[in-house]
Amino acid sequence: MFVTDIRKEFYDVVVNQRVALLISSDIDALCACKILQALFHCDQVQYTLVPVTGWQDLGTAFLEHKEQFHYFVLVNCGANVDLLEMLQPDEDSVFFICDTHRPVDVINVYNDTQIKLLIKQDDDLGVPSYDDIFRDEDEEDGDDSGNESDLGSEPSGKRRRFDEGAVERRIDRQRETLAYKDTKDMLWWAIIGLTDQWVHDKITHMKYVTDIATMQRHVSRHNHRNEDEENSLSIDCMRISFEYDLRLTLYQHWSLYESICNSCYTSCNFKLWSLNGQKKLQEFLADMGLPLKQVRQKFNCMDISIKENLRDVIEESSNKYGMKDIRIQTFGVHFGFKNRFLASDVVHAAAALLESTEKDESASDTFIKALDCLSRSNLERLHLGIDLAKKKLIAIQQTVASCICTNLILSQGPFLYCYLMEGTPDVKLFSKPMALTLLCKYLLKAFVHSTRNKRCKLLPLIMAAPMDVEKGTVIVAGIPPESETSDKKNFFGRAFEKAAESTSSRTLHDHFDTSSK
């Protein structure tokens, strides 16, 4: 069932209980986790944090903790399956589900006792009425149905799911409902969560802009409320500000040149994988009147006189080169006098730490490191994540250039297909779902800019990469066609299941995001 009063039906219920937090391995979930941890710390709620990477992990985690806990909070997992059927819990187990994955299983919607959905009901979910789904099956199926028309049984010949809805930010409502514990840290985490949805293409640009406006009101309220306090603080202060900043990834922690070369928006518009694209980039820099010495050194080392008007200069030249959306609405944060980050900087850093392949670390280790980088007390970890994110972005752009130049993207009828062969540089990096999905997004955008085939520009992309060389396994991801106005619905999950059935392939559909297999 949907929870209508989060404070009364969720928080007041768990505040005096021991709670198991089962957190999915994505940045949005990490931000929700930080908010919940802050709330639980305020009220001394006992909880156990358990990272889960997929359905198998979720099942194992529940089995390990079901004897010690009656209350389970699932973040970004559990909504799009019949959870009770999957986990087979005791009747006294209660699940609070805060999940952005769609479609939501209607069994979860109409279970009033054990499933509590922390999902806004006006999300255009298209929930069918109870009678439309669970009408008297004794009349339809005859005597064979017996008493199997209970809530827990599956309606004959029907899927228990409804249409996909827009991906929404959930924890923003928790922050509003529990306003008496409202802090700037929680607001910043909510902003990072929203930015993650946009960076990883889970919401439309229009939805992002709408939610940014909502966040801006909260930021203004906080800054006004703490104005006098901020004036008296120095090194420990935290200030969030609305920015109309450049669409250049990590540019404040990189050189301007490297950021332009490795940002999807500029790289694809210039077609930097080609000689003409490289020439156009040089013309662009000349048009701005920026010396190469300045744009090739770290942003922090650039002349102050250049940095003062840099955004306006870049925007003016970008308009001449067809990049009218070079600036984007976002938020930045200042920690003390020295450290400044954009929300997208933190998203890329946390994602790089979460899927790091540089050391032989467990999923739990990388989860904790990514979680730590969200704390303002651990800026060293955040800077480490930014360094990893730079390497990841360089690897993505080099792989995109290689795929485009060697014609690795094939048209397979209704979709485009690309397979990264074993031995491809940095291929291990793309054995992780977020990294592979981001590569998919960049590659499809680059292909659309480079191809002359109008039909191919309207096709989705399926991409595969080696997952475990020793076991001979492959990870596959699919994304919808490239479009700024697309509703971002992704139907590859069911398509992958059908393909596996029809070909009798050995597959594991373990990711919470069904577009990755």
pLDDT in tens, 10-55: 999 999 999 999 999 999 999 999 999 999 999 999 999 999 999 9
**Residue 169 placed within a domain:** no
Q: What's the confidence (pLDDT) of residue 133? A: 61
**Residue 119 placed within a domain:** yes
Strands 410-411 and 416-419: antiparallel
Verify that 216 and 240 share a domain, yes or no.
yes
pLDDT exceeds 90 at position 222:
no
Q: What's the confidence (pLDDT) of residue 118? A: 92
User: SS3 for 337-368, per residue?
Assistant: CCEEEEHHHHHHHHHHHHCCCCCCCCHHHHHH
pLDDT in tens, 61-120: 999 999 999 999 999 999 888 999 999 999 999 999 999 888 888 888 888 899 999 988
Mean pLDDT computed over every residue of the chain: 85
Q: What is the mean pLDDT of residues 151-170?
A: 40
Structurally, the chain folds into a number of domains equal to 3
Query: Which of residues 285 and 137 earns the better pLDDT score?
Result: 285
Last residue of a domain, one of 392, 426, 452: 392
**Residue 172 placed within a domain:** no
Type of residue numbered 88: Q
Three-state secondary-structure class, residue 198? helix
**Residue 284 placed within a domain:** yes
Verify that 215 and 280 share a domain, yes or no.
yes
Last residue of a domain, one of 125, 149, 166: 125
pLDDT exceeds 70 at position 177:
no
Q: What's the confidence (pLDDT) of residue 385? A: 97
Q: What's the confidence (pLDDT) of residue 149? A: 37
pLDDT in tens, 308-350: 899 999 999 999 999 999 999 999 999 887 889 999 999 999 9
**Residue 350 placed within a domain:** yes
Q: What's the confidence (pLDDT) of residue 161? A: 41
**Residue 107 placed within a domain:** yes
**Residue 514 placed within a domain:** no
> Quick one: which of 438, 418, 424 has its CA closest to 354?
438
pLDDT in tens, 453-498: 888 888 999 999 999 888 889 999 999 888 765 566 677 777 787 8
Task: Specify whether the backbone of 457 is left (phi greater than 0), alpha (psi in -120 to 50) or beta.
Answer: alpha
Domain, as residue range, for 466: 407-503
Q: What's the confidence (pLDDT) of residue 134? A: 60
pLDDT exceeds 60 at position 259:
yes
Q: What's the confidence (pLDDT) of residue 203? A: 87
Q: What's the confidence (pLDDT) of residue 491? A: 72
Q: What's the confidence (pLDDT) of residue 508? A: 80
Lowest-confidence region among 49-63, 138-152, 222-236, 411-425: 138-152
Count of beta carbons in the 10 Å neighbourhood of residue 156: 12
Verify that 205 and 342 share a domain, yes or no.
yes
Last residue of a domain, one of 348, 365, 392: 392
Kindly state the percentage of the chain with pLDDT values over 90: 61
Question: Where does the pLDDT of residue 159 fall: very low under 50, low under 70, confident under 90, or very high at 90 and above?
Answer: very low
Query: Which of residues 168 and 393 earns the better pLDDT score?
Result: 393
Q: What's the confidence (pLDDT) of residue 167? A: 37
In angstroms, the CA 286 to CA 309 distance is: 16
Verify that 328 and 358 share a domain, yes or no.
yes
Q: What's the confidence (pLDDT) of residue 23? A: 97
Verify that 102 and 32 share a domain, yes or no.
yes
> Quick one: which of 356, 416, 366, 415 has its CA closest to 388?
356
Question: Where does the pLDDT of residue 236 fall: very low under 50, low under 70, confident under 90, or very high at 90 and above?
Answer: low
CA 51 vs CA 10, 59, 288, 366: distances in Å: 21, 12, 47, 10
Verify that 388 and 412 share a domain, yes or no.
no
